[in-house]
Amino acid sequence: MTSPPTETSTDRNAEIVLSLLDGFRAAKAMFVAVSLGIFDQLHRQTATAAELAETLGCETHALERILGSCVALQLLTVDNGRYRNSEAARRFLRVESSETLSGYILYSDRVLWRLWAHLEDAVRQGTHRWQQEFGSREGIFEHFFASDQDKETFLAGMHGMGLLSSPSAVAAFDLSGFTRMVDVGGATGHVVIEACRRYPDLQGIIFDLPAVIPVSTVYVGKAGMEQRIQTVAGDFFTDPLPGADLYALGRILHDWSEEKVRFLLRKICGHLPTGGGLLICEKLLNEDRSGPSSAYLQSLNMLVCTEGRERTPAEYEALTKEAGFREFVYRRTGQPVDVMLARK
């Protein structure tokens, strides 16, 4: 028997391209594994490919390929033919996990994947792709608030994403001098919940659409913050904002056009007392527009599904000062979002 040929190192430039070619395949394998319920099933008990195939209604030879891909991607482990979840899957890929990202993953699979298929058209025309793919101009919120289950799954995914970023966001600056924070468009309230945990004298409000508030209330209760955080229903473009000396916008501004961003910033500034603050949580582009790649990919995501985009610190500073704020500072967190603080 002859030995196999020795593997030679791949050209580094080829590696860059080949890894990107595999990128969408790896993402889709994870999407399908979440959609099939593989990680939830394996949390109950380990299983062979044949056992999982019978439970999930799949062909064994096909499911083995998904399972093998998940092992290679460090989402599963396998021992004597029995698969089990990795720590990453246990925490982030099970629907029932308190840290789950499954809602965001299902949204990526069922909506973003389809919108991204029209990225070239979006680049040529400069507009989102809802009409082209779904036959209507409805956007992200109308689509995922179509049923209570859709809404709760989507918000749970966004909550999981927020849990990664919000502790760093509220720790980036000293917010101890503020007394009342309104989390504008706060959804599950992960920003204001983390702020109240860090600053014991702070009171909070989650301000969001009427359809969201029942879900917000549940998350406030789970956090044990009912005595410190209220929920108030309203549309931040059309309704008065609750009074506060600190407002927070967590992944809100990147959804909207420049005109709407300017309107919202002016509105918030007008509600603040002198010395009041605005905490903005968004992924920042480098000033020289050299990256980071995560921020640019998110900006492309905004192109295909919203009217917004990601921005540089200087762009945010210009927008806040135009709205009436006098001070602006920012911090990069290394998390899914960075953080900025503007003061009136």
Rounded distance, CA 338 to CA 334, Å? 7
Q: Which residues are marked as active site? A: 254
Query: Which backbone phi and psi does 114 adopt, to 5 degrees?
Result: -75, -40
First to last CA, the chain: 78
Which burial class, exposed, middle or buried, applies to 332 when counting CB atoms under 10 A from its CB (0-12, 13-18, 19+)? middle
Q: Provide the residue type at 222 as one letter.
A: K
Residue whose token pair is 């921020």: 295
The distance of Cα 336 from the centroid of its chain, to the nearest Å, equals 7
Alpha helices in the chain (DSSP H): 12-36, 38-44, 49-56, 60-72, 87-92, 102-107, 113-116, 119-125, 130-134, 140-144, 148-171, 190-198, 213-222, 258-271, 293-305, 313-323
Token reading at 343: 């003061």
Half-sphere exposure of 321 (CA within 13 A, CB side): 10
Question: What does each C-alpha distance from 266 to 77, 92, 140, 260 come to in angstroms?
Answer: 52, 37, 25, 10
